[in-house]
Structure formats: structure tokens, C-alpha cells
Amino acid sequence: MAWELALASDGSPCALHAADWVRRHFDRQNTVIKVITVEDMMYRSAYAGYVTGYDATAPLAHELPWSEAAVEQTKKHLQGFLVQSAVRQGDPVREILAVVRQDAPDLLVVGHRGLHGLTGMLMGSVAKALVHYSPVPVLVIPQDARD
């Protein structure tokens, strides 16, 4: 069976863990993956902590945009697959859903950091919103998920 997957990735450890999970569980020959990365300018400085090749202190015109770095990092975890990318700016939930509605993949895969309590409530949960609003099934891979 051929699969078309959408994988939401910001280059974070939990997103890369979800990419690794996909790599282990789907057939490279029969799976096309679209990596969706959304640059949320409100959290620009936070990305520097986990996206290789991104410098939040560099002038915008002279840096590798974190979104491109995140896509490249995710592609390394998906070697052997046919990987496409969609890079957007804005609200992550809204932009991911826009791509999913346009492309209608078989499955949307997203990592989950597992934030709980006050932090989880204040920051919200992209994974939770995607599960609630996605027109296609969503597979949420917790950061500590095992095979």
C-alpha cells in the first residue's frame, strides 16, 4: 500500500523523534512524506536551542532561516524516503491545517513534547489542536515513545 504522509516538524527533538518513528515503521519504497514547517516569529529565539545551523542573533538577511534548517535536519532523519517540504509563516496550527486540507495526505504525524500543568496550558498544544481540527487522521508520537 502506498502512503502519503504529512509530518509537522520544527526541528525539535520531539519532531525528529517522530521522523525517526516514521522511518522505522513505513516502507521507503511506498511512502511520500511532506515535511511541514511553520515559522512562528513570536518564538524565533527559542528555535536556536535545537535547530542546527540557525543563529537567532544573526541579522535576518544573513542567516539560514530556522525553517530551512529544520526541514534539512528532518530530511536527514528520513533518508531513503521521497521527501517534499512546505515552509510557512504564521500560526503553526492554522498553517499546518492549511497544507493538510490542500494536500489531503493519508495521515498527519506530529511529535508531542508532553508539556503539562501551567506550561502546557499557557503555551497550548499544537498536537492537541491538530487532533481536534484535522480533516485527516493524526498520529501523535510522544517524545518518550518506544517501539
Residue position matching grid coordinates 526541528:
11
- Are 38 and 95 in contact by the 8 Å Cβ rule? The answer is yes
Domains and CATH numbers, the chain: 3-142 (3.40.50.620)
d(CA 93, CA 97): 6
Residues 6+ apart with CB under 8 A from 127: 110, 111, 112, 138, 140
pLDDT tens, residue order, the chain (147 aa): 799 999 999 998 999 999 999 999 999 999 999 999 998 766 555 555 555 555 555 544 445 577 888 999 999 999 999 999 999 988 999 999 999 999 999 999 999 876 555 444 444 588 999 999 999 999 999 887 565
* Cut 0.75: pTM above it: yes
